[in-house]
Structure 1
Amino acid sequence: MFFDTPEAMIAAGKLDGILIGTRCSLHTEMALKVLPTGIPLYLEKPVATSYEDLMRLKEANDAYQSEVVVSFPLRNTPMVQMAKEIIDSGKIGTVSMCKR
């Protein structure tokens, strides 16, 4: 199913959870639409891009006590950065993806 707006998706009901993976600047705005619903939320980092947004998000979280999980993407960890450097260097040959 596709929806034109987050509000339409929420209004359609029967959601087991919502994952927010929009542009970083929209994470707080989208989360503030989900928290009042009580639908479990999976929120990508960063949860906010300004202190003001962070405080708005905290207030909403405190008010609604919805289930929230914040992702911890590994792409910026030293281990993944080292793997990327090795792949980019060509030392192990060409790395490609196999489509099934």
Structure 2
Amino acid sequence: MTLISPDIDPEVFVVQAGRITPFPQPFILMTSTRDSILDLAAWIAGRPRRLGEITTADELGGLPVTVIDLSDFADPGQNGHDTAFAAPRAIEYFRNFHGLK
């Protein structure tokens, strides 16, 4: 299972995902700290950030999740929300990515 730039509170995700048995594997979370759409969503929600903005799986209470931080792949001048499937550098990265089984 893969979530790309999810707009959900990280704490809510941890609680809800902790109830899923068995937890899907692999579980991939694609994030970016340069996602202006999620910045706006966090501001509207009155929270500091959204799940799609975390940078490591350490922030997920031990859930077996692989976090791929796409912050460095965001194209300048873009909103960063579609980086995983629109930024040429990200697409090339995934073409060559063999780190998951």
For normalisation by structure 1, the TM-score amounts to 0.32
Q: Which has the higher helix share?
A: 1
Higher RCO (C-alpha under 8 Å, 6+ residues apart): 2
Q: Bigger radius of gyration, 1 or 2?
A: 1
For normalisation by structure 2, the TM-score amounts to 0.32
